[in-house]
Amino acid sequence: MAAAEQGAGVRTTLLRVEGDDVRRMRQQLLFDGPDARRKLSRFWTLLILAAVIATAGIVSDSTATVIGAMIVAPLMTPILGSVLSIATGDGRNLVRSLALVITGALSVVCVGYLIGLTVPYDVVAATSSQVAGRVHPRLIDLVAALATGAVGSFALVRSDVSDTLPGVAIAISLVPPLAVAGITLESHSPHQSLGATLLFLTNVAAILLSGLIVMALYRVRQTEQLATKGRGGRLSLAIVLGFVLAIAVPLAVTSRTITRESIDSSRVQTVAARWATPAGWIVDSVDPGSEGITIHAAGPPPAPASATLRNDLDSAGLGHVHVQLVLVPQYTIDLPTKP
C-alpha cells in the first residue's frame, strides 16, 4: 500500500511544475518586466533578418538557407507565450503575445513582398520547389504540427530537454510559409499565397492546442503561485480547439483534392505510356495542375494521334480529366564529312 502511494506521488511529481519553473518560462516567453525593451529589440531584429534569409532561400530555391531562417526565427516565442498566458490566466500578456504574433507575421509577409519586387521573374510553385512544398497544406501537416508543438511545449516545461528546441524550430516552419505568402502575392498568385498562409495558421493552431494540453498535464494553473479559479482556461481551450477544427476543414478538402490528383496522374501516366510506346515516343512527365494534367512527351515524327490518346483516357474512366498534351518532336539530322 505504501509502495503504491509512493509510486502515485512520484507520478504526480513528474507531471507537475513548481513556481520556479513557471518563473523560468515567463522569463523566456513573455515580453514584460524591466528588460521588455531588450526582448522586443531582439525579437524584431531576429524576425526581420529571418524573413530576409527565408525569402532569399525561397528565391534561390535553397533548402539549407531556408532551414537557417527557421533556426533564427523567434516567432515561436510569442506563440508559446500565448499558451503560457492562457494557462496562467494572464490576460495582459496574452494580448501582448498575440499582438506580436499578428504584427510579426504581417511583417514577414511584407518583407517577402518587397524582396519579390526586386526579382525579375515570378517566384511561384512552378519555378521554386520551396514554394511548391508550402502552398498545398494537408491534414498530415496538422498532425505533424500537433506533435511538433507538443515537443516544443514539453521542452519548455522540462528544462532538461531544451536542447530539442532547434529541431522543433526546423520542424514547425513558421517564417518560410509567411515569406512564401508575401512573394507569391507579389507574383500575382493569390491562391498560392492563401495556401501558404493556411500552412502558417495550421502550425500556429497546432502549437496553441498541443501547448495547452501539455500545460494542463503539468498542472501549471494548479501551482501554489497560480491557484486561480474560473472558467477562463476552459473557454480559451474551447476557442483554440474551435480554431483547430476550422483549420482542419480546408486541410481536409486540400488533402482529398491532392489524393484525387495523384491517383488520376498515375492512371494518366499508364494510359499515356501505352499510347506513346508503339510510336517510339517517351512520356517525360505527367504534371497535375489547377487546370488539369499536362503530359510532356517526346519522340521521332510523326507524332502519335492525340485523338487516340483522348479515346484511350475516356475508355479508362478518365473522361473527367482535362489533359493538355505537349509534344516535342526529335529529329535526327545526319551531317556527313566532306570526301
Domain parsing of the chain, residue ranges = 12-229, 264-329
Grid cell at residue 320: 473527367
Does domain 12-229 fall under CATH 1.20.1080? My reply is yes
Q: Thinking of the domain 264-329, which architecture would CATH place it in? A: 2-Layer Sandwich (3.30)
Q: What is the pTM of this model?
A: 0.81
Question: CA nearest 40: which of 108, 104, 107?
Answer: 104
Q: Which three three-digit cell numbers place residue 272?
A: 499515356
Q: How does pLDDT run across 174-223, given as a tens digit for each residue?
A: 999 999 999 999 999 999 999 999 999 999 999 999 999 888 888 776 65
Model pLDDT, residue 163: 60
CA distances (Å), 5 to each of 9, 223, 266, in order?
6, 21, 59
17/267 Cα distance (integer angstroms):
55
- List CB contacts of 23: < 8 A, sequence separation 6 or more: none
- Give the confidence band of 322 by pLDDT, cuts at 50, 70, 90: very high
H helices of the chain, in order, are: 2-14, 19-29, 36-59, 63-72, 76-88, 91-117, 129-132, 139-157, 165-172, 175-186, 190-217, 232-276, 306-315
